[in-house]
Amino acid sequence: MKRAPAWRLAAVLAAVLAAVLVGCAQPELRGTGDLGLVVERAAGRVKLIETSGRTALATIAGLGDLSHASIVYSRDGRYGYVFGRDGGLSRVDLLLARLDRRVVQAGNAIGGAISQDGRLIAVANYEPGGVRIFDAATLEPLADIPAAFGDGTRRAKVVGIADAPGQRFVFSLFEAGEIWVADLSDPRRPQVTRHRDIGKQPYDGLITPDGRHYIAGLFGEDGLALLDLWNPQAGVRRILGGYGRGEEPLPVYKMPHLRGWAIAGGHAVLPAIGRKEVLVVETAGWSEAARIPVHGQPVFVIAQPGGRRAWVNFAFPDNDTVQVIDLPSRSVVKTLKPGRAVLHMEFTARGEQVWVSSRDDDSVIVYDPASFAEIARIRADKPSGIFLSSRAFATGF
Amino acid sequence: MRRWSTFAILLFAAAGPVAAGAAGPAAPAEARRAELIHMVRQDCGSCHGLSMKGGLGPPLVPAALADKDAAQLQFVVLHGRRGTAMPPWRRFLSDAEAAWVVELLRKGLPE
């Protein structure tokens, strides 16, 4: 018998060693591009999900009161920053499926944003009213922007915070009727530009995907407030003034959300407040192009990537329904009943799936948006917001 | 604040005695109680917070309601408050149920 050559032995040993190492010591490598987090609002947890096999991978607890929670992602897509109602700011590691760090930075918060360069986290607070800025890596506090108005002693609740190009954050002051633009080029010295008298009770805001226009929805009057960030010196102007045409608005049992709005083919579609309508606005002149009657008062109007259709959910008591609007024909093409209390919808980046949360059925339902077929159903405890990691790469998310 | 409370008192005076007597409102049946608690926590919670500590709407924890008049609170629940985001809930609640909800909030919402 011939002896095996030394190189063959070495190769076998190396292969065995590699197998042992991979099998025992090293977790399987993966990216985060198909991961996401689903808020379990009552339990203070998030569910880590993946959209390739459409499964839940883990549950991460200890995030506090998530009654109104939202999430932004680090620029490498590894961490989700969870903004909780109780002022908690939690950094969740998607790869290790655990809470990485957490601070409670205010008494009552509504949401947040991440800066263009990914190094700053801004949190919008109700109590004390204002915005606080944190280091995205350490969650160390860097700056405080009190939302003082009037004689300077009152503080407004901050709503509709959005990131804008140039290390800026734009947000609205509910009681004050103002829009502020904070430049955080120097993170410890925010430079704030105030726009006053923008309208009564701005309740939410959004920034267009190109980062140019910030729009605040108004609760206290018909219309929206528009700020062109390319020409901020022109000030804020009112758009769609009087879209209610003087009619008494319906009582609003859940405030609409503007973030995640739909824009396509030169048109934007927005939820009308206090009306069972979706508004279509042409984005060249920001005037009303049409209004589409829908099942209830819209909460979210979410564009399908590509912009051909928008999915709409509704406020209590019509919240068991989702409608799909075909934007070219401006008509409802599908009405779905995913479950009780549908709170949110989220598309995958390329639009081949849409995830829908049903709070009162404790389920997240995944649809094929082309066929409307249900392709997966995942158990979740009172799910609300669904946030996929592809948000990491989009302005305004 | 003053305006609606005066209005509430006038309205209650006109409408006669309300369901919420000294002994507290009659409790709804058990299944309905569970529905009401769910509605308060989840749907009122949209604005007031799941733990009732406040949000766009004011806090509704016992300490925040201690010095408020039960009949006025019941009126606000049923009829909303003009000039604010508080809608009327009378479509979804009877007078007696609204009174029961107010008592529930004043005692603290059960877990």
Residue A397 lies in a domain: no
Query: Could you report the per-residue pLDDT of A79-91, keeping only the tens digit for each?
Result: 999 999 999 999 9
Looking at the domain assignment, is residue B22 inside a domain?
Answer: no
Does the pLDDT of residue A4 top 60, yes or no?
A: no
In chain A, the percentage of residues whose pLDDT exceeds 70 is 92
Distance from CA of A201 to the nearest CA of B (A): 9
Provide mean pLDDT across the span A311-317. 96
CA-to-CA dists, residue A216 to A158, A367, B98, angstroms: 12, 31, 34
Is it the case that residue B14 has pLDDT exceeding 80? Answer: no
CATH number of the domain within which B71 lies:
1.10.760.10
- Identify whether B35 is part of a domain: yes
Inside any domain, residue B11: no
| Residues with Cβ within 8 Å of residue B16, at least 6 apart in sequence | none
pLDDT at A11 over 80: no
At residue A141, the pLDDT reads: 98
Asked if the structure places residue A351 within a domain, the reply is: no
Q: Does B53 touch chain A (CB under 8 A)?
A: yes
Residue A276 lies in a domain: no
A-chain CB neighbours of B45 within 8 Å are: 67
Do A131 and A361 form a contact (C-beta atoms < 8 A)?
A: no
Output the pLDDT for position B2: 41
Q: Is 80 exceeded by the pLDDT of residue A18?
A: no
From A65, A159, A174, residue closest to B50, measured CB to CB: A65
**pLDDT tens digit string along A324-370?**
999 999 999 999 999 999 999 999 999 999 999 999 999 999 999 99
| Lowest-confidence region among A17-21, A282-286, A296-300 | A17-21
CA distance A297 to A286: 22
Q: What is the interface size between A and B, counted as CB pairs within 8 Å?
A: 64
Q: Does residue B95 fall inside a structural domain?
A: yes
**What total of structural domains would you count in chain B?**
1
How large is the average pLDDT for residues B63-89? 94
* B54 occurs within a structural domain: yes
For residue A204, the chain B residue with the least C-alpha distance is B56
Lowest-pLDDT range, A160-169, A292-301, A336-345, B47-56? B47-56
CATH of the domain at A157: 2.140.10.20
* Closest chain B residue to A109, measured at CA: B55
Residue A337 lies in a domain: no
pLDDT of A16:
53
Range with top average pLDDT, A55-59, A239-243, A261-265, A272-276:
A55-59
**Residue B19 above 50 pLDDT?**
no
Residue B50, domain member (yes or no) = yes
Residue in A closest to B88 by C-alpha: A251
The answer to whether A248 contacts chain B (CB < 8 Å) is no
Torsion angle defined by CA atoms of residues A141, A143, A144 and A149, in that order, rounded to the nearest 10 degrees: -170
Nearest CA in chain A to B90: A251
In this prediction, residue B13 carries a pLDDT of 40
In a domain, A303, yes or no: no
Disruptive mutation site among B42, B51, B92 for chain A (greatest number of A CBs within 10 Å): B42
Closest CB to A65: pick one of B38, B51, B56: B51
Query: In this structure, is residue B20 part of a structural domain?
Result: no
Determine, yes or no, domain membership for A197.
Answer: yes
Average pLDDT over residues A117-136: 97
Question: Mean pLDDT of all residues in chain A?
Answer: 92
Residue B19 belongs to a domain: no
| Residue-number span of the structural domain to which B68 is assigned | 29-107
Query: Which residues fall within 8 angstroms of residue B15, CB to CB, at 6 or more apart?
Result: none
What is the pLDDT, as a whole number, of residue B9? 42
User: Hey, which residues 322-341 in chain A have their CB within 8 Å of chain B?
Assistant: 341
Tell me whether the omega of the peptide bond preceding residue A383 falls within 30 degrees of 0, making it cis.
Answer: no
Give the domain range for residue A69: 55-239
Residue A19 forms part of a structural domain: no
Residues near A151 by beta carbon (within 8 Å), at least 6 away in sequence: none
User: In the 3-class helix/strand/coil scheme, how is chain A assigned residue by residue?
Assistant: CCCCCHHHHHHHHHHHHHHHHHHHHCCCCCCCCCEEEEEECCCCEEEEEECCCCEEEEEECCCCCCCCCEEEECCCCCEEEEECCCCEEEEEECCCCEEEEEEECCCEEEEEEECCCCCEEEEEEEECEEEEEEECCCCCEEEEEECEECCCCEECCEEEEEEECCCEEEEEECCCCEEEEEECCCCCCCEEEEECCCCCCEEEEEECCCCCEEEEEECCCCCEEEEECCCHHHCEEEECCCCCCCCCCCCCCCCCCCCCCEEECCEEEEECCCCCEEEEEECCCCEEEEEEECCCCEEEEEECCCCCEEEEEECCCCCCCEEEEECCCCEEEEEECCCCCEEEEEECCCCCCEEEEEHHHCEEEEECCCCCCEEEEEECCCEEEEEEHHHHHCCCC
- ipTM comes to 0.77
pLDDT of amino acid B18: 42
With an 8 Å Cβ cutoff, is B26 touching chain A? no
Q: What is the pLDDT of residue B110?
A: 84
For B21-52, write each residue's pLDDT tens digit. Answer: 445 567 788 899 999 999 999 999 989 988 89
Q: Assess B25–A contact: CB distance below 8 Å, yes or no.
A: no
Count of domains for chain A: 1
Residue A27: what pLDDT? 72
User: In chain B, whose CA is at the least distance from the CA of A110?
Assistant: B55
Instruction: Mark yes or no for CB contact B55/A219 under 8 Å.
Output: no
* A343, A359 Cβ separation under 8 angstroms: yes
A132 belongs to a structural domain: yes
